Structure 1
Amino acid sequence: MKDLVVAVYDGVVLLDVAGPVQILHGSQGYRIRHASVDGRPVRTDVGVALGVDLALGQIEGQIDTLLVPGYAPPDGDRPGEAFLDLLRGLGARARRVASVCTGALLLAEAGLLDGRRATTHWAACADLASQFPEVTVESDAIFVRDGPVVTAAGVTAGIDLALALVEEDHGPDLARAVAKYMVVFLQRPGGQSQFSVRGAVPSTRHAALRGLLDAVAAEPAGEHTLAAMAAQAAVSERHLTRLFRREVGCTPGQYVERIRVEAAQALLETSADSVATIARRCGLGSDETMRRTFLKVVGTTPTTYRRRFRTSLPPTSHKEAL
């Protein structure tokens, strides 16, 4: 039995806690304790009270795993400095530290992600990259392991993370059995880009950059080369690239590509147009170019994406299911 502590606080996302704990409990391989700053129950983001076992300061000695769930992005209730101070101390004593969703930003604030690769909810990746430049953000990953630290993407990605921990600690057979019982993927297809919300333009205090971001989002198929965007923003190409990396967390080309893919995702969900037509409408060129771009950015093909997200209804025939 491995000792696992879940650090909770007022405003913690209920599913960030419940998803991983259900998986870990189902494996029967962990002693799970919930701990808050003062040892009192906490209120989750949906108002459900969550009982705890002890105060974070009462935890003695080494622990195997410290799990830090997140708050609702982008501006849900966040724990205060007392929580972060305790997190720093516990993180140093844990064999392994894991986070779910925006819990990664709490790890970063506590200095536990310095010099490491990490991920978080797609809606918070830009914030993680801009606020903590010492962290290398992998925005499409479902979860990222860097040494003793594991970070997961948003909400249900905590289930993927927990299954990975079970597999690491107790072997693939047990992880597969737990996944089967819980009716979830042992390893889900694609990355978290396929779940992002269309039109989510990053915030920036730089007026010229903000106008540029809006212009790309408004017309994905427009001419958005590095030279054209630098001219529109009245800055050099090198300076524009620095601005994008600092304010948006990616290069200008990566941003344009992401916006075009998101525009194509929206059309695949709502339009009967062919993949080739959607590719042209969104600035992705041909259907083959769109296919390659989707595989790189979303982790699946346009056709598979359309089948997965066009409707939530079950297939009406065997042919449709195939």
Structure 2
Amino acid sequence: MPERTVLVVLYDGVQSLDVTGPVEVFAGAGWAAGDPSAYRLRTASPGGRPVRTSSGLTLLPDTGLDSAPVPHTLLIPGGADGADGAGNAPEVVDWLREHGPKAERLVSVCTGSFLLAAAGLLDGHRATTHWAFCDEFAREHPEIDVDPEPIFVRDGRIATSAGVTCGIDLALALVEEDHGRETALVVARHLVVFLRRPGNQAQFSAPLAAQTAHREPLRDVQRWIAENPDRDLSVDSLAARARLSPRHFARAFHAETGVTPGRYVERVRLEHARRLLEETTHGVAEVSRACGYGTPEAMRRAFVRGLGTAPVEYRRRFHVPRTTH
């Protein structure tokens, strides 16, 4: 099994979990695969100086950037400065511009994508970043195809993830790619996280992705939808629950949540179906009924449209069996 060097770049203001989350995944993979040398983890900073994270922790790097080996995987974490991180870490950007093309795999976590972008390494590629900075990312870098929805994006040798904990999801995906699903599953269980949220999963769950309505009747409808995905969730039915006319309800719901009632229902049902496929052994037909799809074919179309895969394939890849202790 070839050794893969993972080099994590550190700088002042870096987000500590962007560093430690992926590092714990890669370190755990060596143990899970029965080969401690599966990944050789290294950290480097400008001049090899200690760095102070955004939360006040001090990290001591292994080496300076100028002395760092050419890695298999080059990982750039984000920082508290967000989009300003590139401007506040010019030494890192200059180093990335020269050395980034030499790595076999370029990875960013959260706003680390701004550093890769400033170095010109994301030009012509699809990428993502923390949801709060996606609009700014797209404005500053029109040469990048910015996708604000997924928790991580793979585009050839480049992988970018959304905020903070999404770096763990991306690292698990890379471990699965390098060492197989079983190894990644062992790591996920050890860290008590999902194996693994698919990259095209939205950065927010359906209720979080939409705004919470201001008016109580509409908030009650949002709760009702989340708690009863198998019920009649047509506009007429929901409008009657809110005691509004269908036209008034549809306009008010969209104005206060940012999505149409139909789109909101679609997101809730898809999220509920994913969770059942990941966490239970219910059959596809049973899941489709429980989530209001009615038929397996209707659910299959919703999965292909929303996730790019069929329910059976989704379960094969992402079902996490319950374990007993």
- Same fold (TM > 0.5): yes
What is the 5 A alignment of 1:144-155? 144-155=153-164
2:294 aligned partner: none
What's the offset of the Cα at 1:292?
2.2
Q: What secondary structure is seen at the aligned counterpart in 1 of 2:40?
A: strand
Distance 1:266 1:148, change over 3 A: farther
Distance 1:267 1:157, change over 3 A: farther
Aligned residue identity for 1:54: T
Contact 1:66–1:94 (8 Å) recurs in 2: yes
User: Cα deviations across residues 282-322 of structure 1 (Å, max 9, x unaligned)?
Assistant: 12565x55312556xxx6259x8xxxxxxxxxxxxxxxxxx
Aligned residue identity for 1:102: T
Aligned residue identity for 1:121: H
Contact 1:73–1:124 (8 Å) recurs in 2: no
Contact 1:24–1:30 (8 Å) recurs in 2: yes
Q: What secondary structure is seen at the aligned counterpart in 2 of 1:193?
A: coil
- Which of residues 161, 165, 181 in structure 1 aligns to 2:170? 161
Q: What secondary structure is seen at the aligned counterpart in 1 of 2:139?
A: helix
Contact 2:14–2:53 (8 Å) recurs in 1: yes
Paired with 1:289 and 1:16, the residues of 2 have a C-alpha distance of: 32
Aligned residue identity for 1:262: Q
- Which of residues 12, 16, 19 in structure 2 aligns to 1:17? 19
Contact 1:291–1:301 (8 Å) recurs in 2: no
Distance 1:30 1:102, change over 3 A: same
User: Cα deviations across residues 22-79 of structure 1 (Å, max 9, x unaligned)?
Assistant: 111111121100100110110000000011000111124x320100000126466554
2:232 aligned partner: none
Bigger CA drift: 181-190 or 72-81?
A: 72-81
2:241 paired with 1:291:
no
2:13 paired with 1:5:
no
2:76 aligned partner: 68
1:254 aligned partner: none
Paired with 1:63 and 1:196, the residues of 2 have a C-alpha distance of: 40
User: Cα deviations across residues 237-275 of structure 1 (Å, max 9, x unaligned)?
Assistant: xxxxxxxxxxxxxxxxxxxxx7xx324599799647633
Contact 2:85–2:115 (8 Å) recurs in 1: no
Structure 1: runs of 5 or more not aligned: 198-257, 305-322
Distance 1:157 1:285, change over 3 A: closer
Paired with 2:267 and 2:218, the residues of 1 have a C-alpha distance of: 17
Q: What secondary structure is seen at the aligned counterpart in 1 of 2:211?
A: helix
2:186 aligned partner: 177
Q: What secondary structure is seen at the aligned counterpart in 2 of 1:144?
A: strand
- How many residues align? The count is 237
Paired with 2:260 and 2:15, the residues of 1 have a C-alpha distance of: 40
Q: What secondary structure is seen at the aligned counterpart in 1 of 2:55?
A: coil
2:60 paired with 1:51:
yes
Identity, % of aligned positions: 43
Paired with 2:21 and 2:215, the residues of 1 have a C-alpha distance of: 28
Distance 1:269 1:289, change over 3 A: closer
Contact 2:28–2:187 (8 Å) recurs in 1: yes
1:236 aligned partner: none
Paired with 2:214 and 2:162, the residues of 1 have a C-alpha distance of: 20
Q: What secondary structure is seen at the aligned counterpart in 1 of 2:123?
A: coil
User: Cα deviations across residues 68-91 of structure 1 (Å, max 9, x unaligned)?
Assistant: 000126466554222101012221
Aligned residue identity for 1:93: K
Paired with 2:100 and 2:217, the residues of 1 have a C-alpha distance of: 43
